[in-house]
Copies of this chain bind each other. A is one copy, B any other.
Amino acid sequence: MGSALVFPLSMNGVNIRIVGTPFDREVIDECIRTGSNPKISRPFPAGITFHHFEDWKEVVPGSDYVIGGISSYGAEWFLENVLAYLPEEIPVFTVVKGLRVGEDGMLSTWPQYWEKQLATKGLHRKVYMLGGPGIAQDIINGEHTVTTISGEDPDVLCMMKESLETDSLHVSRTHDVTGLEYAVAIKNAYALGPAIAIGLGQRPGAARPTGVNAQAAVFFQAAREMRRILRTVGAESDCISMGLADLFVTVEGGRTRSFGILLGEGYSLEEARERLKGITLESISAVKSLYEGISILAQRGFMTAYGKVDMAEFPLIEHLYGVLFHGKDAEFPWERFSFDLS
């Protein structure tokens, strides 16, 4: 996603420097040599410079902003190696997904966690978020995309909107920071559900053909669970709608779709990961932290504005956790997906 955003930014004449993490040594070498990131389908626009991680402290100062194009697997590293040293006056946007379960069992988004940790070091940074609904490849292709940004300072959001907006990338701004952060964080977990439904129908000798009703049934359950989580953390209507549109786009075309289809076909977590080598699978960590976080809250009888947290209301995340981490068969517990007169 970090590389994808270079295309609209460059169309707006933004002066861009791409800095790799220590894991991106080969990718950056390839970029320097060819002007292309081998993981995306077209060469970068002209005029961009590429840098290895050790040069970041020379390259970054003076920038109007930093976009941290890291995955949740690099989130701790980004805090300790970049955010802890970055001059406070440079705003940071992030596209990071996923949730963190604290030692107390409480869930937080990565930006929430970063801000808290930085504050203990006397650094008062508010992180800006940039999130869905959209997949990176379509942004690169110039497909019409709506994206949403959130954060504290309206002037910074205004600057980012002007930097990013093109005739195909349409940028919304929201004050609902928590809503946006949670919406983008949890949709990768839930998008596995409808994707698994596709895979189940593709099993050799599957009892039932693949249609759209099974996907919709799981989408329905995913929407119910996502709404419960988003309302509990105080997300507002527009970010709940965004989360469901992000669920839609991830089921339709993201890497989570490919992974879920393999799980549905009967491959284990390890086998599916092997087949998708090189692709970052946010959904694995998203399912793990969501399941663990909700379980702990349920065990403690945690109260929300909508009642006590009850694991029985999250059968889909429980099923996905079982499939990923306990080798459970991917066929859904359908009887748990219908509800009844209350």
Contact A170 B335, beta carbon cutoff 8 Å: yes
Type the 1/0 row for A118-160, where 1 means its CB is closer than 8 Å to any CB of B. 0000000000000011110111011111100000001001000
Instruction: Annotate A230-253 by CB proximity to B: 1 below 8 A, 0 otherwise.
Output: 010000011011101110110011
Which residues of chain B have C-beta atoms less than 8 A from A137's C-beta?
A: 211
Mark contacts of A271-286 with chain B using CB atoms, 8 A cut-off: 1 yes-contact digit, 0 otherwise: 0000000000000000
Q: What B residues does A242 contact at CB under 8 A?
A: 220, 223
A297 within 8 A of B: no
A97 to B146, CA, bound (A): 30
Residues of B within 8 A of A141 (CB): 208-209, 211
Q: Are A146 and B245 in contact (CB under 8 A)?
A: no
A162-196 interface with B by 8 A CB criterion: 168, 170-175
* Minimum C-beta distance from A31 to chain B (A): 24
- A227 to B236 Cα, complex, angstroms: 12
A57 interfacial contact with B, CB 8 Å: no
Contact B337 A146 (CB under 8 A): yes
Q: Is the CB of B208 within 8 A of A144?
A: yes
Report 12 cross-chain contacts, Cβ distance below 8 Å, ordered by A residue. Answer: A144-B217, A145-B213, A145-B214, A146-B213, A146-B338, A168-B208, A170-B334, A173-B339, A220-B241, A223-B242, A228-B237, A231-B237
Given A135-B213, A224-B241, 9 more A-B residue pairs with CB atoms under 8 Å apart are A133-B220, A135-B212, A139-B213, A144-B208, A145-B216, A172-B339, A212-B252, A223-B245, A231-B237
Interface of A with B (CB < 8 Å)?
Answer: 132-135, 137-139, 141-146, 154, 157, 168, 170-175, 197, 201, 208-217, 219-221, 223-224, 227-228, 231, 237-238, 240-242, 244-246, 248-249, 252-253, 332, 334-335, 337-342
User: Which 10 pairs between the two chains have the least Cβ-Cβ distance?
Assistant: A220-B245, A216-B249, A138-B211, A138-B213, A212-B253, A223-B241, A143-B211, A146-B217, A145-B213, A172-B338
